[in-house]
Structure 1
């Protein structure tokens, strides 16, 4: 069993799950929850909660981008915010500088809570995990890989996306090389779920 810097036993495993759109991360997360009683934290969901009215993150975003990004009910209009930062690297960097540290701090605190509760497996999911600096938080990073034609078929069938939209989404995410270089293990998820489960079983 690994030791942490304080010399105490580290009995909860923390795994980072990442991969491009359409690679099948959701199926992997569901399996880890049902079969291994994993606590799954999706960073996009954490970010959404931290951006609700009353949260410190919400106030800093409004101060930076103005009240025009708010809906009539006073909550953030995420689509309007996305339009504000889209295509403007400086504005996007400012938004990320507000949100990302808050999300990471929440995750650190949640890991500490779950470890105290005796949880055995904690999973962090995000497509942008390789660029978000979570290597120091995770014991292992897993790249869920699927061939591009498979990803495109899944996205068309499950979400009704066009080829153009899929191409734009893939282009906005880390490259396959970046995913592979930043992760400890690759889960091949182009085939059947049973095959994917076998690979997970070998790692856990």
Structure 2
């Protein structure tokens, strides 16, 4: 089984790439963001520690985490964000390793782990390759504005919080240029898969 780590800044088109790899090559997709959300639900492995640290005022009337309230605390305070990351990231990584073991038993050919923190959390420990989806900042800003309706200030703060391009370039084995039309990206992906 080939295990690929896929990363890139917000608005770089990772979702579309994952869908293509799943549809054309039957790749199994694991998105750490979705995994983290599941683990933060009431009864999930991260829930109690988050509530214990951030207090019950981050809960909604159903006792679930109010993600906007939590986000407004964590994303405006570096220390609070690092506490949240210390609670969530190691547990997510453990869950990813369980998924890898399960997929190995199923004889899966290609497993793609998509994560914003592949490099910081050292996913190269169990990935065969790390791939970086590269898109210029101004194109990402346009995509986020039109596709998700994000305000310019929000887009700027999200992009500023992510590692710069050269960090990705230094740590990733392959770069997928997704600046143009998706047909061009598909050709790159087909060539990479053929090369694996």
TM-score (ref. length: structure 1): 0.89
| Correspondence for 1:84 among 43, 61, 73 | 73
Q: Does 1:15 align with 2:19?
A: no
Is the 1:128–1:173 contact (alpha carbons within 8 Å) kept by the matching residues of 2?
Answer: no
- Return the index of the structure with the highest Cα Rg: 1
In the TM superposition, what is the alpha-carbon distance from 1:70 to its structure 2 partner?
Answer: 1.1
- Partner of residue 26, structure 2: 37
RMSD of Structure 2 on Structure 1 (CA): 1.3
Q: Kindly tell me: are residues 162 and 140 of structure 1, through their superposed partners in 2, closer, same or farther at Cα, counting changes over 3 Å? A: same
In the TM superposition, what is the alpha-carbon distance from 1:184 to its structure 2 partner?
Answer: 0.4
TM-score (ref. length: structure 2): 0.93
Q: Any gaps of 5 or more consecutive residues in structure 1? A: 1-11
| Correspondence for 2:134 among 140, 145, 148 | 145
In the TM superposition, what is the alpha-carbon distance from 1:55 to its structure 2 partner?
Answer: 1.9
Q: How does 1:160-175 map to 2 (within 5 A)?
A: 160-175=149-164
| Correspondence for 1:135 among 124, 138, 151 | 124
Q: Kindly tell me: are residues 55 and 163 of structure 1, through their superposed partners in 2, closer, same or farther at Cα, counting changes over 3 Å? A: closer
- Partner of residue 105, structure 1: 94
Q: What is the alpha-carbon distance in structure 2 between the residues aligned to residue 94 and residue 151 of structure 1? A: 28
Runs (4+) of structure 1 exceeding 4 A deviation are none
